[in-house]
Chain A
Amino acid sequence: MAEIVGAYFTSHVPSIGGAIHRGLKQDPYWKPFFDGFPPVHEWLAKVKPDVAVVFSNDHGLNFFLDKMPTFAVGAAPEYANADEGWGLPLYKTFKGHPELSWHIIEGLVEEEFDPVTCQSMLVDHAISIPFELAYPDAEQWPIKLVPIGINTVQHPLPSAKRCLALGRSVHKALASWKGDERIVVIGTGGLSHQLDGERAGFMNAEYDRFCLDNLVSDPDALTKDSIHEIVRLAGTQGVEVLNWIAARGALGPGAREIHRNYHLPISNTAAATVLYEPA
């Protein structure tokens, strides 16, 4: 019987990858962010997940505007990273878990979601960086991947309510999976940030605190705001909190927070790292 061991959430700012690459973890600018990771490493060593179901958004590597799915579930045997155009190191390839992917797809469609299914899919920094942070010394990823993509790029975006429902339906699918895997749910991106327009550089610690305080015990509180309101509160790219909301739903009804680190700025972003266990 599979077990959902918990949920891991972190930001995926590309420059984190650059900081790792250049050995800057102890640099005064970066240290407050990287100091959030020893508890993640200890927790992963303890709970030993072997599959990750990851909610994230593509940034123009796998998807272009010619075909832009609202929800996309990876069902590939492996997922490579590729050149994103601005000089990040190339990240390690993930092994997939197509059987579990198709089980999730079956479950989602049964629950009246209509995901795009991807038997071939590249993954970008939004997945690679959270894994580089979680498993800094790994030569190969010690864990298989089921990626679930949410459109946070081209409006209309799915509502926060819809993303939470998506996550809850993924939870139902995971709960009915007959395998004996230990599953970790991951949400990446955010928190508040805005890269574009005259409001570039906008962050909102107050809204981020509201999200972090409520996500664990009352995730529905985060779904009261429309996408437009979330953009106003979190910034144009802060809507990546949708990935966190969906991942929270996939963890299951009850959760308790066992770790939280929040620091801004990392690049233009308010960065957070959080661990939940089922409760």
Chain B
Amino acid sequence: MPSELEPIPGTTLFDGEAARKGYALNALCFSFNEKVNRDAFLADEAAYLARFNLTPEQHEAIAKRDVLGMIAAGGNIYYLAKLAGIFGLNVQDVGSMQTGVSVDKFKAMLLAQGRGESYEVAHKEMLNG
């Protein structure tokens, strides 16, 4: 059996437990590979969501556009990206939503790493700057 592993800060591994918990949410997102489903979601979000057996936690996270809440509810980022794409959001937008800073600050943190700063330093500057 796997031994207890030291947690990685700010990181949720998408494991069997998450995959079970998040199945309906990820199935919803997987459906967005098809334009007809994206259009149906945009036309009537509540009716489209009702086709999936989402948990109350998943409904709430979607209603609030709360990415961390979706991950806590078992969402996998590869699938959640398809939901974000419906709103024209890219991975910097999603990064901003998860770190609680502006998109510009999030991008500046990425660029700082490009100048040779460590993530830890760049991240601290992002939160304080």
Contact = CB atoms under 8 A, between A and B. Distances in A.
A264 B38 CA distance: 32
A197 B68 CA distance: 6
The DSSP consensus for interface residues of chain B is helix
Given A83-B33, A155-B16, A197 B82 contact: no
B35 A231 contact: no
Contact of A155 (B14, B30, B82, B94): B14
A236 B9 contact: no
Interface stretch (A166-174, A178-186, A202-210): A202-210
Contacts of B44: none
B82 A200 contact: no
Interface residues of A, number: 40
Given A195-B77, A195-B81, A199-B11, A85 B33 contact: yes
Interface in A147-178: 153-156
Interface in B7-27: 8-16, 19, 23, 26-27
A265 interface: yes
Contacts of B9: 198-199
Interface centre among B16, B88, B92 (most CB of A within 10 A): B92
The listed residue with most B CB atoms (<10 A of its CB), out of A68, A198, A203, is A198
A70 interface: no
A231 B5 CA distance: 12
A200 B95 contact: yes
Nearest to B113: A203
Contact of B26 (A61, A65, A202, A263): A65
Contacts of B33: 60-61, 82-85
Contact of B10 (A68, A199, A203): A199
B11 A194 contact: yes
Contacts of A83: 33-35
B98 to A, nearest CB: 5
A261 interface: no
Contact of A85 (B13, B82, B92, B114): B82
Contacts of B35: 83
Interface stretch (B45-53, B57-65, B104-112): B104-112
**When A and B form their complex, which 8 residue pairs have the shortest distance between CB atoms, in order from nearest?**
A86-B85, A199-B10, A198-B10, A85-B82, A196-B77, A155-B15, A265-B110, A200-B95
30 contacts: A15-B91, A60-B26, A60-B82, A65-B27, A65-B30, A83-B33, A83-B34, A85-B81, A85-B85, A153-B14, A153-B76, A155-B15, A156-B2, A195-B95, A197-B10, A197-B12, A198-B10, A198-B98, A199-B9, A200-B10, A200-B106, A201-B99, A202-B119, A205-B116, A228-B5, A231-B11, A264-B110, A264-B114, A268-B92, A268-B95
